[in-house]
Structure 1
Amino acid sequence: MNHVPIPVSRQRVVRPAVPAREENRLRWHTNFVALRRIVATWEKRARFRRDLEQVSRNDPHLIDDIGLTRRQVEIEIAKHFWQA
């Protein structure tokens, strides 16, 4: 008997049937998690830019210590929270 294994790329993956309602719930959950991550990223950027602005006002010598120019700080502070 000559047994030749089937390559993984050609094997059929049999998935258990998922009811449409459950599939929609999973899709909604996945989208919700993605949205939460986006909002968390935006909040992190906004907080960073607020803190950077406060440091640049109160302790401008610290900006030099972290290796940024005044112009770079101004550009970063001027960005909107959704901009990377």
Structure 2
Amino acid sequence: MPRRHSSLATLRSIIATWEERKRFRWELKQMSKNNPHLIDDIGLTQRQVEAEIAKPFWQA
């Protein structure tokens, strides 16, 4: 049973990471559209933002 609990905890952690990436990329996309000057403030180029936004949620 402990192994099953560990597997479930690992799965929850993976899903939480995916959700965090999805949310971050959505926020980055919104920032890029609505406040493009903020992209410079966080030290990214538009090309870097586009590359990050284009990644699937499972890719780091």
TM-score by length of 1: 0.71
Instruction: Choose which of 34, 39, 42 in structure 2 pairs with 1:58.
Output: 34
- Higher helix proportion, which one? 2
Unaligned runs of 5+ in 1: 1-24
Paired residues in the alignment total 60
Question: Which amino acid in structure 2 is aligned with residue 36 of structure 1?
Answer: R
Unaligned runs of 5+ in 2: none
Residues 38-49 of structure 1: pairs in structure 2 closer than 5 A:
38-49=14-25
Alignment correspondent of 1:15: none
Please give the alpha-carbon distance, in whole angstroms, between the structure 2 residues aligned to 1:34 and 1:67.
Answer: 33
Alignment correspondent of 1:34: 10
Q: Which has the larger Rg? A: 1
Q: Which has the higher contact order (CA 8 A, sep 6+)?
A: 2
Q: What is the RMSD computed on CA atoms of the aligned residues? A: 0.4
Quote the offset at 1:79 in angstroms. 0.2
TM-score by length of 2: 0.98
Q: Which runs of 4+ in 1 moved over 2 A?
A: none
User: For residues 9-46 of structure 1, what are the alpha-carbon distances to aligned partners after superposition, in whole Å with 9 as ceiling and x for unaligned?
Assistant: xxxxxxxxxxxxxxxx1111000000000000000000
